């Protein structure tokens, strides 16, 4: 497979680089020649060195767009000097110098370098790789021989897209490549990139850390902006998958164009402004972010919290005080910081006068001091793009001020000389050391104990095969001078260790990268730890934790309602139904309250339902109690009158004992109404029904005894034959029998299915009616059916006897009393069925009181009137006088019916 790849690659090179002269004769020898050279800038130190290490760095930030009028392809030129990339390149040179001076690594072997600027672009990266392999002076390719020394490996090429492009070619020859800033997960695919390793963690580790950070702060609504290259594309894809797994919604996902486009940048700006997401993940390099940052500043977009990737979190090009109102409070991940001994002094050891042909140093000097180096053709601060605020092309070629050479680097404050945040810079150093340690292990191999099969052979410097070095690279472990342990596994990955940084202003008004936490990613876990004593600056009006939601969290009392076609983080807040509550914010469903509970007005809490019953302390209950007591006092007053005048004819007439029993039963019925008031209990439910039923039974049976006597008296007055009178004993037996039957029914009722107190929740949702469950309806109907039967007999007998001739119309009074009784209870039925709750009980009490008052008034008030106010009528003559039988015009009394039959006086049948 490798051989086929090489053939294809050679054919491609022949097609791209060489022209074939076919105009001569067929037997003429074909010759190859270069059509042109790549316009590459860099540094080479290959003479007198055993091995060469290649380096590719983004010393410029972009290439100048090609002139579309020129049809022939040319090697593009670069612009936008990148101090950060220049420092990385210098760090590689410094590290190689340090290794060559050490005696414990590669003794008697020195390392040279060949470094090129890839201008942060794929075309320049490919040009650099091809020059590594073939050079530009030979008339035919000689791989790994462009400088005359042996190429051991390549450090680079910066961003993920650049490393992927370089690796596509380097992998054809198994040439080791060590990435220092390429985090794209795709590079971990050893099928595609078997010779690529890196000293920076994969984006998989960083993305999981980003998701954990978002989850830690509870942000459900996130925006993503990524660069339009492999670094941003794959990171955005992995990030979306991980956010979805954590139930976090994606507000938007925008791409920063790799080739500048004002329209596309404006589209990103519009999305940021319109979105409600206040937390945005910005996954791009600092070089790609330049146009977007300028656009954000121009449009005055503030109030956003940016989550930064390791590619720009510590970039001095972006961390400027003038950008703080827009990017202050940025929180993101950075590889661990390290100190590199001697690097600062090495960086200061630079001056254009040392090498007039060093165009990169001259350009550095011109850009750093804003001047033009004399007698130099190096362009100054050129930018061929149309900037984001539409000012047009800026084509300034030279500065009006010339450099004197006396400028002082100590007065500069730029990224190149800033050694306080050596993070990616330290990765460059570790990448160089990784190659050096692998070469050192290869050089120390002992024949017969080597790793290569068969024969346990060894490889030798300088003519080893690249795959032989890769064996050591994949199992590399070493400790840096700072004490950090570096372990590269078989997949070419290192353990993901990050520091969590927050952008804050220091006392000097400069942006400080404050460490607020750390994160470590391994195969088995991803651990995020925030510092307890760290103060995080948030770029919000309140300086508190930003809130980033599509919809505000639903308050208690509402639930989430899904919006069709929108993310789950976008929802409507729907109020809970009656009887349902949501006690916590953001609940998806409302919880039903228990049987004894109901939702409050805010629907955020279940409260006990109002227990409703006819209470003594409310107006209605108090009124009914008053009427009951007043009625009882009236009955007792009547009884007192009767007792006081018990020997008078009117009291003695028609069975005095029955009158006292009627009065006692009225007291029972009137007082039983009070058992209907107050909170129902089992005992009160039983007592009130038993007392009411027995009270009415006693009352009606006594009345029936009276009406039966009147009925017989009436029959005697109408008959010409002598009838047997109804003796007082018979009346008492009738009363006793009725009461005993009622007691029997009540006893069976209590044994079979007695009344009980219960909570009625059928009729109302917000109230619980405390009522009495009457138990067996059949027994209840039977119990009160006996009273109805007695009342009906009383009414019929009294109605028949109403025309009994008497000085005192007791028959009529009983008739009226029974009419009142029936009217009350007939009216009670529809009223009782149409009311609920305590009013239902009040209707029943009113019926009891009304019927009791009706009987009291009709039966006893007329007699009390005569006894107290008309005592002259309370005499034997008036109550029980005699009349001749021949004088039919004289009315007979109901108290003493006398009939002159056969000139015989008929004794009264009504007296005791």
Distance from C-alpha of 331 to C-alpha of 498, rounded to nearest angstrom: 12
Over residues 787-807, mean pLDDT: 73
Q: What is the pLDDT of residues 330-382, one digit of tens each?
A: 999 999 888 999 999 999 999 998 888 899 999 999 989 888 888 877 776 66
Rounded to the nearest 10 degrees, what angle do helices 262-274 and 286-298 cross at? 60
In this prediction, residue 71 has a pLDDT band, given cuts at 50, 70 and 90, of low
CA-based nearest residue to 110, from 478, 443, 445, 474: 443
Over residues 479-508, mean pLDDT: 86
DSSP string, 810-824: HHHHHHHHHHHHHHH
Q: What is the per-residue pLDDT for 34?
A: 67
Q: Model pTM?
A: 0.67
Q: What is the per-residue pLDDT for 254?
A: 94
Does the pLDDT of residue 329 top 70, yes or no?
yes
Q: What is the per-residue pLDDT for 879?
A: 64
In this prediction, residue 99 has a pLDDT band, given cuts at 50, 70 and 90, of very high
Does the pLDDT of residue 483 top 50, yes or no?
yes
Over residues 487-511, mean pLDDT: 89
Q: Which two three-digit tokens encode residue 225? A: 């902006």
Over residues 611-619, mean pLDDT: 81
Q: Which two three-digit tokens encode residue 97? A: 């110098």
Does the pLDDT of residue 6 top 60, yes or no?
no
Q: What is the per-residue pLDDT for 511?
A: 92
CA-based nearest residue to 498, from 331, 690, 294, 359: 331
CA distances from 156 to 184, 197, 206, 289 (A): 13, 10, 20, 21
Over residues 417-424, mean pLDDT: 89
CA-based nearest residue to 650, from 863, 862, 367: 863
Q: What is the per-residue pLDDT for 69?
A: 57
Q: Which of 397-411, 419-433, 588-602, 618-632 has the lowest mean pLDDT?
A: 397-411
Q: What is the pLDDT of residues 235-261, one digit of tens each?
A: 899 999 988 888 888 999 999 998 888
In this prediction, residue 399 has a pLDDT band, given cuts at 50, 70 and 90, of low
Q: What is the per-residue pLDDT for 893?
A: 36
Q: What is the per-residue pLDDT for 411?
A: 86
In this prediction, residue 432 has a pLDDT band, given cuts at 50, 70 and 90, of very high
> Are 497 and 430 spatial neighbours (Cβ–Cβ below 8 Å)?
no
Over residues 496-511, mean pLDDT: 91
What is the β-pairing status of strands 221-227 and 111-117? unpaired
Q: What is the per-residue pLDDT for 804?
A: 58
Q: Which of 529-543, 728-742, 877-891 has the lowest mean pLDDT?
A: 877-891
Q: What is the per-residue pLDDT for 799?
A: 76
* Greater model confidence, 475 or 359: 359
- Per the listing, tokens 């209707």 go with 843
CA distances from 171 to 131, 176, 469, 855, 889 (A): 15, 8, 13, 117, 146
* Greater model confidence, 68 or 22: 68
Mean pLDDT rounded to a whole number for the chain: 82
Over residues 721-734, mean pLDDT: 65
Q: What is the per-residue pLDDT for 906?
A: 31
Residues 6+ apart with CB under 8 A from 658: 702, 705, 706, 731, 735
Residues 6+ apart with CB under 8 A from 426: 335, 336, 337, 338, 340
Q: Which two three-digit tokens encode residue 433? A: 């050391």
Q: Which of 138-152, 542-556, 604-618 has the lowest mean pLDDT?
A: 138-152
* Greater model confidence, 202 or 759: 202
DSSP 3-state of 140: coil
Does the pLDDT of residue 591 top 70, yes or no?
yes
Q: Which of 192-201, 378-387, 599-608, 738-747 has the lowest mean pLDDT?
A: 378-387
Q: What is the pLDDT of residues 657-707, one digit of tens each?
A: 888 888 888 898 888 888 888 888 888 888 888 888 888 888 888 888 777
Three-state SS annotation for 835-888:
CCCHHHHHHHHHHHHHHHHHHHHHHCHHHHHHHHHCHHHCCHHHHHCCCCCCCC
Distance from C-alpha of 521 to C-alpha of 625, rounded to nearest angstrom: 80
- Looking at the chain, the whole-number percentage of residues with pLDDT higher than 90 is 29
Distance from C-alpha of 297 to C-alpha of 326, rounded to nearest angstrom: 7
Q: Rounded to 10 degrees, what is the CA torsion of 844, 847, 850, 853?
A: -80
Q: What is the pLDDT of residues 803-862, one digit of tens each?
A: 655 544 577 788 888 888 888 888 887 887 777 777 888 888 888 888 888 888 888 888
Q: What is the pLDDT of residues 146-156, one digit of tens each?
A: 777 889 999 98
Q: What is the per-residue pLDDT for 19?
A: 39
Residues 6+ apart with CB under 8 A from 497: 201, 335, 336, 518, 519, 520, 521
Q: What is the pLDDT of residues 274-322, one digit of tens each?
A: 999 999 999 998 888 989 999 999 999 999 999 999 989 998 889 999 9
* Greater model confidence, 752 or 21: 752
Does the pLDDT of residue 901 top 50, yes or no?
no
Over residues 503-518, mean pLDDT: 91
Q: What is the per-residue pLDDT for 691?
A: 87
Distance from C-alpha of 43 to C-alpha of 222, rounded to nearest angstrom: 44
Over residues 162-177, mean pLDDT: 93
């Amino acid at each position: 497979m490798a051989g086929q790849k090489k053939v294809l690659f050679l054919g491609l090179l022949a097609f791209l680089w060489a022209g074939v002269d076919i105009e001569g004769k067929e037997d003429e020898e074909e010759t190859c020649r270069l059509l042109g050279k790549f316009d590459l800038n860099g540094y080479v130190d290959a003479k007198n060195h055993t091995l060469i290490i290649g380096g590719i760095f983004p010393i410029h930030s972009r290439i100048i767009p090609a002139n579309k009028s020129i049809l022939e392809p040319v090697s593009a030129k670069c612009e936008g000097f990148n101090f950060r990339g220049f420092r990385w390149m210098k760090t590689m040179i410094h590290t190689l110098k340090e290794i060559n001076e050490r005696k414990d690594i590669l003794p008697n072997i020195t390392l040279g370098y060949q470094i090129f600027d890839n201008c942060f672009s794929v075309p320049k990266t490919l040009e650099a790789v091809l020059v590594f392999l073939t050079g530009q002076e030979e008339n035919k390719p000689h791989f790994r021989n462009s400088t005359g020394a042996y190429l051991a490996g390549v450090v680079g090429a910066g961003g993920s897209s650049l490393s992927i492009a370089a690796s596509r070619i380097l992998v054809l020859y198994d040439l080791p490549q060590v990435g220092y800033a390429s985090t794209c997960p795709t590079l971990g695919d050893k099928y595609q990139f078997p010779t690529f390793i890196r000293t920076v963690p994969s984006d998989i580790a960083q993305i999981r850390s980003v998701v954990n950070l978002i989850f830690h702060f509870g942000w459900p609504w996130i925006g993503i902006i990524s660069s339009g290259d492999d670094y941003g594309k794959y990171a955005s894809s992995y990030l979306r998958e991980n956010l979805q797994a954590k139930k976090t919604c994606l507000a938007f996902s925008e791409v920063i164009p790799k080739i500048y486009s004002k329209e596309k940048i404006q589209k990103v700006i519009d999305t940021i402004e319109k979105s409600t997401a206040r937390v945005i993940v910005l996954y791009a390099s600092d070089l790609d972010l330049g146009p977007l940052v300028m656009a954000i500043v121009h449009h005055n977009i503030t109030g956003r919290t940016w989550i930064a990737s390791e590619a720009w979190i510590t970039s001095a090009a972006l961390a400027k005080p003038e950008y703080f109102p827009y990017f202050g409070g940025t929180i993101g991940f950075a590889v661990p910081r390290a100190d590199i001994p001697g690097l600062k002094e090495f960086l200061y050891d630079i001056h254009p006068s040392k090498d007039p042909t060093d165009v990169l140093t001259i350009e550095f000097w011109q850009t750093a001091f804003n001047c033009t180096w004399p007698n130099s053709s190096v362009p100054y601060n050129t930018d061929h793009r149309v900037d984001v605020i539409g000012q047009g092309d800026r084509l300034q070629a030279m500065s009006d001020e010339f450099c004197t050479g006396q400028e002082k680097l100590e007065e500069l404050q730029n990224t190149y000389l800033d050694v306080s945040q050596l993070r990616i810079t330290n990765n460059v150093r570790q990448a160089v050391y990784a190659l050096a340690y692998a070469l050192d292990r290869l050089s120390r191999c002992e024949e017969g104990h080597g790793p290569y099969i068969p024969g346990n052979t060894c490889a030798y410097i300088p003519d080893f095969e690249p795959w032989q070095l890769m064996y050591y690279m994949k199992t590399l472990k070493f400790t840096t001078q700072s004490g950090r342990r570096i372990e590269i596994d078989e997949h070419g990955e290192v353990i993901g260790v990050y520091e969590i940084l927050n952008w804050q202003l220091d006392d000097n008004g400069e942006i400080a990268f404050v460490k607020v936490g750390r994160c470590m990613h391994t195969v088995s876990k991803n651990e995020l730890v925030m510092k307890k004593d760290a103060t995080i600056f948030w770029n919000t009006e309140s300086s508190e934790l930003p809130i980033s939601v599509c919809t505000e969290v639903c308050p208690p009392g509402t639930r989430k309602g899904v919006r069709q076609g929108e993310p789950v983080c976008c929802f409507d807040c729907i109020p809970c139904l009656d009887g349902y509550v949501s006690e916590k914010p953001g609940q998806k469903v409302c919880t039903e309250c228990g049987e004894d509970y109901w939702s409050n007005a805010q629907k955020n809490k279940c409260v006990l339902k109002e227990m409703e019953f006819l209470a003594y302390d409310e107006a209605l209950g108090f009124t009914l109690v008053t009427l009951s007591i007043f009625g009882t006092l009236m009955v007792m007053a009547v009884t007192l009158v009767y007792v006081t005048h018990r020997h008078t004819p009117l009291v003695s007439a028609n069975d005095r004992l029955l009158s006292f029993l009627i009065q006692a039963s009225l007291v029972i019925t009137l007082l039983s109404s009070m058992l209907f008031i107050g909170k129902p209990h089992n005992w009160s439910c039983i007592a009130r029904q038993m007392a009411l039923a027995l009270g009415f039974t006693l009352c009606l049976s006594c009345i029936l005894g009276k009406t039966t006597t009147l009925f017989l008296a009436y029959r005697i007055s109408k008959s010409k034959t002598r009838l047997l009178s109804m003796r007082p004993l018979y009346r008492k037996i009738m009363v006793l029998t009725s009461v005993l039957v009622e007691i029997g029914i009540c006893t069976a009722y209590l044994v079979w299915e007695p009344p009980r107190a219960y909570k009625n929740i059928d009729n109302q949702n917000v109230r619980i009616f405390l009522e009495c469950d009457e138990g067996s309806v059949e027994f209840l109907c039977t119990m009160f059916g006996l009273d109805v039967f007695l009342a009906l007999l009383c009414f019929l007998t009294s109605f028949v006897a109403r025309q009994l001739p008497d000085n005192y119309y007791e028959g009529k009074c009983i008739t009226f009393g029974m009419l009142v009784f029936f009217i009350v209870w007939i009216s009670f039925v529809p009223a009782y069925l149409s009311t609920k709750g305590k009013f239902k009980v009040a209707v029943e009490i009113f019926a009891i009181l009304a019927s009791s008052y009706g009987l009291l008034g009709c039966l006893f008030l007329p007699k009390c009137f005569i006894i107290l106010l008309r005592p002259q009528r309370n005499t034997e003559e008036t109550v029980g006088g005699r009349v001749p039988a021949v004088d039919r015009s004289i009315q007979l009394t109901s108290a003493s019916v006398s009939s002159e039959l056969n000139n015989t006086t008929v004794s009264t049948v009504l007296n005791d």
